[in-house]
Amino acid sequence: MLEIMGALGLAEWLGLASVSAVVLGAFGLRGRPKRRAGEMAAEAPPRVTARQGDGGEGLPPGMSPADAHRARIQAGIEAFQRARGSVVLRVVHHLPYEYVDEHTAIEAIDALRAAGPDAPVDIILHTPGGLLHAAQQILHALKHHRGRKTAFIPYSAWSAGTMIALACDEIVLGSSAVIGPIDPQLGGLPAPLLAELLDDKSNDRINDQMLVIAKMAKQAVKEAKEFACDYVNPAHNGGNESCALTNELIGSGRNHQAPIMPQEAIAMGLNVSMQMPETLYQVCQPPPEEEAMLTVNLFGSRIDQKTAALLDLDGLQKRLR
């Protein structure tokens, strides 16, 4: 496993829940096509106002529960956008292989370019984090956008998601929302701890591969501290240019998944509000599970009731008789 991590050679701001997906992605083992990381308000699916239950009742003919889910989210985003008079960027990830990547960076950059330099921008965040270089591109675009920038986190924004929020003028957190440390990771291992190997052991007691990884980690921590400090919005530092906040979030010894709750974020000096619009909780809901799953065991295969209903096996059997 260590060889795999070293071979990845990638510095990331990524929550641990998605590390296995990065490893699978490195070997081309993703199970299904990757959805676009951000969804802009301009890309509207068919509009629907009816809510459907588990069985999909109340849907227009030909509309699947997934289409209805996307339409409801789109309607919520459009209503939020009208009320705020802002440009809305939705960076919401639910599937294990979704995270902040090059696609997210391209969408964020293009959205800010199209918005105009003084337009207010609202970013809806629900993400495990992502690739460090992609996050840095987004941070750069946010820093050079003159309009007011607000991050909304109804549930959670880890790692790179936290850093994107810190680049905004204000962070609006749900009552139980969490953000987290921003220490870079190398192959799923915390770079600050890997870098400490150079201090804890003499070079002759570290094999060549680990020595290279430890040196890469040390460099990754140095670079992360430099540009995180550069891109964090002064509103979260009491208006000054101190690096104390980012140093705390990178080198405090916290576990990468250690949650920072709203009260602690406020105590740290972040410019935080807890006035979360109810609409945004709905906007961050996961999509319905629609795909038929075949469960295989040593004695053959079986299909559960939900899958049977999706496949309409009773109807198929009747047609075959």
Q: Is the CB of residue 90 less than 8 Å from the CB of residue 39?
A: yes
Q: Is the CB of residue 268 less than 8 Å from the CB of residue 173?
A: no
Split at pLDDT 50, 70, 90, the class of 184 is very high
pLDDT of 297 higher than 60: no
Split at pLDDT 50, 70, 90, the class of 16 is very low
Mean pLDDT score, 44-56: 38
Query: What tens digit of pLDDT does each residue of 56-107 get?
Result: 445 667 778 888 888 999 999 999 999 999 999 999 999 888 999 999 999 9
User: How many residues are recorded in the chain?
Assistant: 321
pLDDT of 28 higher than 60: no
Strands of the chain, DSSP E: 11-14, 38-40, 87-92, 121-126, 129-131, 149-153, 156-157, 170-173, 178-179, 185-186, 189-190, 272-273, 295-297, 300-302
Query: What tens digit of pLDDT does each residue of 254-267 get?
Result: 889 999 999 999 99
pLDDT of 3 higher than 80: no
Q: Is the CB of residue 138 less than 8 Å from the CB of residue 105?
A: yes
pLDDT of 44 higher than 60: no
Query: What tens digit of pLDDT does each residue of 208-252 get?
Result: 888 899 899 999 999 999 989 999 999 997 766 678 898 899 987
pLDDT of 290 higher than 90: no
| DSSP states along 30-58 | -SSPPPPSEEETTS----------TT-TT
Q: Strands 11-14 and 129-131, how do they pair? A: antiparallel
- In the beta sheet, which residues pair with residue 11? 186
| Residue 39, SS3 per DSSP | strand
- Which residue type occupies 150? T
pTM given for the model: 0.75
What pLDDT does 103 receive? 95
pLDDT of 203 higher than 80: no
Q: Return the DSSP state at 232.
A: S
What pLDDT does 305 receive? 56
Lowest mean pLDDT among 72-76, 116-120, 142-146, 236-240: 236-240
Q: Comparing 41 with 177, which gets the higher pLDDT?
A: 177
What pLDDT does 5 receive? 34
Cα end-to-end span (Å), the chain: 52
* CA–CA gap between residue 217 and residue 227 (Å, rounded): 16
Taking the CB of residue 91, how many other CB atoms lie within 10 A of it? 25
What pLDDT does 11 receive? 63
Cα atoms found within 13 Å of the Cα of residue 260, Cβ hemisphere only: 25
What pLDDT does 210 receive? 87
Question: Would you state the structure tokens that stand for residue 130, as one six-digit string?
Answer: 């992502």
Residue pointed to by tokens 């079986």: 302
pLDDT of 207 higher than 80: yes
**Chain mean pLDDT for the chain:** 79
Residue pointed to by tokens 């105590």: 267
Lowest mean pLDDT among 14-18, 52-56, 181-185: 52-56
